[in-house]
Amino acid sequence: MVAGPARKAPPFSGAIDPFSSVAEELELVEQNLTRAIRSSEHTLTEIASHLIHGGGKRIRPVVTLLAFRNFGGKEVEDIVDIATAIELIHTATLLHDDIIDGAEVRRGKESAYKKFGLKATLVTGDFLFIKAFEFAGKFDDTVVQWTADACARLTEGEMLQGFFNRNTDVTFEDYLEIVKRKTASLFQTGARVGAYLAGASPSMVEKMDRYGMNLGIAFQMIDDVLDVVGHKEILGKPTGMDLRDGNPSLPIIFALHERQKAVTEAFECSHPTNEKIRQAIDAIGQGRAVQQAKSSSKDYAERADKVIKEIPPSLYRNGLKTLVQLIIERDF
């Protein structure tokens, strides 16, 4: 039991769970998501639900909500709508990604593509994109433009990644270009829109944009590492998917630069055997690639951290800071 007056907000210092400090807002996002995927066509709802209620971490909504609250944002409904839109866009791209990669597993479950087939999965992805814009389209021109730009960058990132598929010429700089577009753009837009809708100054909005971009890059780098060292039980997907699909992940790029023969062979091969992939993963593990990728991730996490020091302190700023740590230390 707590003596004295009930304390509604946790103190300003110390490690704060970024999720619990915006728990109420996140609950509203969940309600929005459930409502958004209702359709007279039950298959659309079923497939969308398979992913929406399939264990997403909701990191993009959390970034958006924390950025909003940190700058004193009050109109909860607005920020919840845009956080919903961003999660819907993310989910739509996951559905379309699974088709592109022919993925059989997603978040520890059979992928929608495997379970429901190409057609239904493709159309459900479109449906989620549309629902996202239903939420985002209510805002002013600036927010609509930023959201549309983020989505356009997502598709450009997909294209660029396709260009470097099984392409051993890929460099770290190419990788950054892909990741900035494909992954960081939604983090970036969430953070930027959060600050903007809270009425933050243009310079603060730009800072939050930088925070989101660096956090997103760090996030993707760890995702790439987990694909090489993660365990299927924890991660919900088998390791080595990037090698199987020929996606230029960061450890793969570093290993290619180390001239790891097994990695080059598996990466270049259009249908590498499980044995080839195992050998390549072993080779990556023996070299410095994983360590280098983790170190790159830490580098971008520090850039995100540096921004945090430049924004006003609050309980939510602590959440933004903890989120950076959680993201680079995660094993799922």
Task: Provide the binding-site residues for a copy of itself, judged by CB under 8 A.
Answer: 39-41, 43-44, 92-93, 96, 99-100, 118-120, 122-127, 129-131, 133-134, 136-138, 141, 144-145, 147-148, 151-152, 154-156, 158-160, 162-163
Nearer to a copy of itself, 120 or 293 (CB): 120
Least Å distance between CB 88 and a copy of itself?
Answer: 12
Least Å distance between CB 182 and a copy of itself?
Answer: 11
Nearer to a copy of itself, 54 or 137 (CB): 137
Q: Which residues contact 291 (CB under 8 A, 6 or more apart)?
A: none
Q: Which residues contact 174 (CB under 8 A, 6 or more apart)?
A: 160, 164, 248
Q: How far is CA 38 from each of CA 35, 89, 137, rounded to the nearest angstrom?
A: 6, 16, 19
Look at residue 106 and give its three-state secondary structure.
strand
Least Å distance between CB 155 and a copy of itself?
Answer: 4
Nearer to a copy of itself, 129 or 300 (CB): 129
Q: Rounded to an integer, what distance in angstroms lies between the CA atom of residue 135 and that of residue 126? A: 15
Least Å distance between CB 119 and a copy of itself?
Answer: 5
Nearer to a copy of itself, 100 or 229 (CB): 100
Where does residue 236 rank: exposed (0-12), middle (13-18), buried (19+ CB within 10 A)?
middle
Pair type for strands 109-110 and 105-106: antiparallel
Nearer to a copy of itself, 242 or 305 (CB): 242
Report the Cα–Cα distance between both ends of the chain, in Å, rounded.
34
Least Å distance between CB 40 and a copy of itself?
Answer: 6
